[in-house]
Amino acid sequence: MSENEKREFIPLNIAVLTISDSRTEETDTSGKVLTQRLTSAGHRLAEKLIVPDSIYKIRAVVSSWIADADVHAIITTGGTGVTGRDGTPEAIAPLLDKEIEGFGEIFRAVSYDQIKTSTLQSRALAGVANGTYIFCVPGSSGACKTAWDEVLVHQLDYRTRPCNLVELLPRLLES
């Protein structure tokens, strides 16, 4: 790579939302994993909240972040399983302008190496709403580590070649 092809890191403002009926700030290991990893990578934590497994409470928080031009990406953790209270995909999908199907596919493929066929229970989801990236990952700290370390750290880094999601941010609002 020649000198003029080198890219500088572009820090993003990333919000983290833990979705749980039982977690508190003290017991939210998944939210802490994501916060630690994104700040260690050089990004800024825009905000971190915990909400119960309620479609409408999830939508309220995520909608406010989508409307905030200073939030570039949102990562949710929890509520992506198949139990009765798991409703994160149902909460987020109607908010998306475009879904990024490959995120869930890659997350489950990478997770297979760690948890084998149990990965089929994950309804990990990603998309774009009002120029903001949204990534919904399972609630376990292991799943958060996998999502960040294997997928998000690369796609949220402008230096990743041949392409990454950061370089597409200005184009998202084009017609």
pLDDT tens-digit readout, 22-31: 999 999 999 9
Longest distance between any two alpha carbons in the chain, whole Å:
54
Is residue 175 in a domain?
Answer: no
124 lies in a domain? Answer: yes
Mean pLDDT, residues 38-46 taken together: 98
Please check whether residue 149 lies inside any domain of the structure.
yes
Is residue 106, in this structure, part of any structural domain at all?
yes
The pLDDT tens digits of the residues spanning 104-160 come to 999 999 999 998 998 888 999 999 999 999 999 999 999 999 999 999 999 999 999
pLDDT reported for residue 2: 46
Q: Is the pLDDT of residue 92 over 50?
A: yes
Q: Is residue 135 situated within a structural domain?
A: yes
Instruction: Note the Cα 156 to chain centre separation in Å.
Output: 10
pLDDT digits (tens, 9 = 90+) for 107-122: 999 999 998 998 888 9
Tell me how far CA of residue 170 lies from CA of 48, 61, 130, 135, 174, in angstroms: 25, 24, 11, 19, 8
The three-class DSSP label of residue 87 is: coil
Radius of gyration of the chain (CA): 16
Residue 78 falls within a domain, yes or no? yes
Q: Which domain holds residue 98?
A: 8-170
Total domains, the chain: 1
Question: What is the CATH number for 114?
Answer: 3.40.980.10
Does residue 81 form part of some domain? yes
- Residue 175 reports pLDDT greater than 50: no
Q: What is the pLDDT of residue 81?
A: 87
Q: Is residue 2 part of a domain?
A: no
